Amino acid sequence: MTDAQTNNQVNAEDLEDKVDLMLQKTGCQDLHYKVQECIAETQDWRKCQEVVKEFRNCMSGYMEEQRNKYLTK
């Protein structure tokens, strides 16, 4: 493995860790994984719209909570 490949692998792992941490904070991690599973199983994101909608609603709720938290300070 070259140094560039090793660096790319480390960067990809760091990015995944950051995404996982962000999703844990939102409380939407399980829904994120359901979206990924659905897309992997169906090979068509259009067939996963119910799960995508649930995930979007969860993320919107989190963002609204954050917005309100900072507006009320």
Q: What pLDDT, in 10s, does the model give residues 14-63?
A: 767 888 899 999 999 999 999 999 999 999 999 999 999 999 999 999 99
The dihedral over CA atoms of 13, 19, 22, 26, expressed in degrees to the nearest 10, equals: -140
State pTM to two decimals.
0.73
The CA distances from residue 20 to 17, 23, 26, 59, in Å, are: 5, 5, 10, 14
User: In the predicted model, is pLDDT for residue 4 greater than 60?
Assistant: no
Range of the domain at 52: 3-71
Number of domains in the chain: 1
